Structure 1
């Protein structure tokens, strides 16, 4: 029996590894491929090189089309946005890249194929559905929102203002308004809208009066992750706090700088035990203040192919995020690797974890530092948090949670 055809439109290549956006796309693709013959259309919105496609992805799709960016145009647009705040450059870069040429190219991606379902990943891919079908489409169109872009941009704007970066704050405020208009225009097109959490569902319902919203949580495939609990003996060197994330995404940049400049000094002043802060992920020297590199507790590792060894050698994971949206896959990943977590409320947003049962939460520098010190001094607490958070992960954030949702009409 022939499987129904599904078009999956995404700005990033789905991947088992990498940033959270790629992992979420991969998990959805895996689930959808169980029921549908998937045609994958990748429309990048960043980078000057054609993205690599995982071999795991090629095994589960029927066909692939990639619309590469024009490298020169991309670089010039990024430069223009860095120089100008108002005018047409107040648009988010993702929306500036939607041109007649790219719309026409998308429309020619799979000629003659009649799709039963179109799955759009991220709101800034929504304008492409008009060029693909010209309003003449009889199947179902669904959107995986992942983040509420307007809310995320507004939060980032507030954080920039707090940090004294008023120019970027103004730019992000403009972008938030643009995304709010896009959300208002395109939400009615979709029969189903998927979000990460009940909190996001409530926000969209109240703001846009949408009733066709479903929660599709971020998940972790536990079977693919090795148990790292107890791999490091506490007598083997200093207590190690781990942060995994890439510089270049402002909430991550801020999280690292915030932890280094405001939290590390408080930990150091209140406990004599040695500790280190290990940062794993892509970075650019231009994004890292020179004073960060001079802090003795900071170990900047950089990008790695496999994060598992760093989880094995860490004692706890910190998520000092102060802006963003959706839910953090890095929190679920830490739970899966059986590591205790200290986070801000925003860092754990959308995940059903409770303070002192599954995780420790601190929203001010003093609170965050105090929770870190508690973990350093209390091995029983660490063990209890690990056990409880892993149970939560296993019961609410496994593959079946999204497979049933995506494969049932």
Structure 2
């Protein structure tokens, strides 16, 4: 029997944030190939509520609420010599479930999504092991090592070093290591020396992200002009991006466009993000029913991330909605699109503010680049084409669904 074990650090249902969008579509494609057993974590009770949604699709599942506090993971990491981020996802019950699935003799393939879950793949597994690192997590921690107080700098330096070693060890075991972009794949290969490193990009559902689709519109009176950022608002790069934009870009923008509003759209805003709503022209929405409502209402979408790895789904979603996007070089990296033709890539906060002002002054130019962006995404970022590599790597006979 040829069946697949799918391991993910976060339940791949629903596809409502960056990492879950990728894992969701990969899981659906794997289920077209063979029966799939899913082992994963839920961040909270809301995510646990989606576990049953997978029952009609997967052969079996083990979804566990992740409740280990960070301090405990830190102590475990220091005592064992392992990365703290890996110990954060260490669970004896998931390991027992994985062992039982493999002992049943039906699992011929393991697809592991995110490096934290590689700890569950037995050293003696003789089937095919595909590892999707998505991006180079160790490099992210290394970039944090120069910031904050001395203890956190030490923790991040250690995490970058220990995690890099862990990534290299896993890459040597895996039949293939996947990264989300060619740039991430090259960086990972240079760091690990692994020979089977490949890029498998993210796609976008252009039927769902369609400016002419069926979704609730933002009822008037809504802010005009409107600048929008979307993302998970307890994720550090997003928090830093919106704080920088709200404090430094918005005063420059409102000097020319006094009624401009910056809407920060996304769930779980930290206190630092919520406090930004006290600034002139800044609105923090928290979780919304449908992000398309805000994308459609926006005059400009911004993605001013200073630290980013891989492909930013928020950029592809905005492009699919035919909106002009202003992205930092970090946010645009990995996206095959031309500056000034499909989006704008600006080097710093002053250039981002100037570009926003120019687009608000000439709405027609934003409309034109938005239309070009949508056509580009339709042509190059469909999930079927992005996952073609997955079909070859798994080596399972499939019927191409219509």
| TM-score above 0.5, yes or no | yes
Q: Distance in 2 between matches of 1:214 and 1:173?
A: 27
Q: 1:34 and 2:20 equivalent?
A: no
Q: 1:138 and 2:126 equivalent?
A: yes
Q: What is the DSSP-based 3-state SS (H/G/I as helix, E as strand, rest coil) of the residue aligned with 1:256? A: helix
Q: CA deviation at 1:80?
A: 7.7
1:126 to 113, 118, 125: 118
Q: Distance in 1 between matches of 2:73 and 2:112?
A: 28
Distance change (3 Å), C-alpha of 1:363 and 1:57: farther
Equivalent pairs, count: 390
Bigger drift between 113-122 and 379-388 goes to 379-388
Q: CA deviation at 1:283?
A: 3.0
Q: 1:277 and 2:262 equivalent?
A: yes
Q: Distance in 2 between matches of 1:406 and 1:212?
A: 14
Q: Distance in 2 between matches of 1:369 and 1:156?
A: 26
Distance change (3 Å), C-alpha of 1:10 and 1:85: closer
2:135 to 141, 144, 147: 147
Q: 1:225 and 2:213 equivalent?
A: no
Q: What is the DSSP-based 3-state SS (H/G/I as helix, E as strand, rest coil) of the residue aligned with 2:372? A: helix
Per the alignment, residue 296 of structure 2 pairs with 312
Distance change (3 Å), C-alpha of 1:380 and 1:392: same
TM-score by length of 2: 0.87
Q: How does 1:30-69 map to 2 (within 5 A)?
A: 30-43=28-41, 46-47=43-44, 51-53=48-50, 57-69=54-66
Matched-pair contact (CA < 8 Å) for 2:218–2:293? no
Q: What is the DSSP-based 3-state SS (H/G/I as helix, E as strand, rest coil) of the residue aligned with 2:121? A: helix
Q: CA deviation at 1:338?
A: 1.3
Matched-pair contact (CA < 8 Å) for 1:316–1:339? yes
Instruction: Summarize deviations over 1:351-391 as a string: whole Å, max 9, x none.
Output: 11221111112221211111111211122321221122112
Instruction: Summarize deviations over 1:64-87 as a string: whole Å, max 9, x none.
Output: 122444x3xx13x44785x99977
Q: CA deviation at 1:154?
A: 1.9
Q: Distance in 1 between matches of 2:260 and 2:174?
A: 50
Q: How does 1:60-79 map to 2 (within 5 A)?
A: 60-69=57-66, 71=67, 74-75=68-69, 77-78=70-71
Distance change (3 Å), C-alpha of 1:406 and 1:84: closer
Matched-pair contact (CA < 8 Å) for 2:8–2:114? yes
Matched-pair contact (CA < 8 Å) for 1:194–1:215? yes
Q: Distance in 2 between matches of 1:303 and 1:347?
A: 22
Q: What is the DSSP-based 3-state SS (H/G/I as helix, E as strand, rest coil) of the residue aligned with 1:29? A: helix
User: Structure 1 regions of 5+ residues with no counterpart?
Assistant: none
Matched-pair contact (CA < 8 Å) for 1:228–1:312? no
Distance change (3 Å), C-alpha of 1:79 and 1:259: farther
Q: How does 1:56-205 map to 2 (within 5 A)?
A: 57-69=54-66, 71=67, 74-75=68-69, 77-78=70-71, 81=74, 91-98=83-90, 102-109=94-101, 111-130=103-122, 134-135=123-124, 137-158=125-146, 161=147, 167-205=151-189
Q: What is the DSSP-based 3-state SS (H/G/I as helix, E as strand, rest coil) of the residue aligned with 1:119? A: strand
Q: Distance in 2 between matches of 1:319 and 1:173?
A: 27
Q: What is the DSSP-based 3-state SS (H/G/I as helix, E as strand, rest coil) of the residue aligned with 1:126? A: helix
Q: Distance in 2 between matches of 1:402 and 1:105?
A: 31
Distance change (3 Å), C-alpha of 1:80 and 1:6: closer
Per the alignment, residue 232 of structure 2 pairs with 246
Q: CA deviation at 1:165?
A: 5.0
Bigger drift between 104-113 and 25-34 goes to 104-113
User: Structure 2 regions of 5+ residues with no counterpart?
Assistant: 396-402
Q: What is the DSSP-based 3-state SS (H/G/I as helix, E as strand, rest coil) of the residue aligned with 2:111? A: strand
Q: Distance in 2 between matches of 1:127 and 1:84?
A: 14
Q: CA deviation at 1:224?
A: 2.1
Q: What is the DSSP-based 3-state SS (H/G/I as helix, E as strand, rest coil) of the residue aligned with 2:48? A: coil
Q: Distance in 2 between matches of 1:58 and 1:145?
A: 26
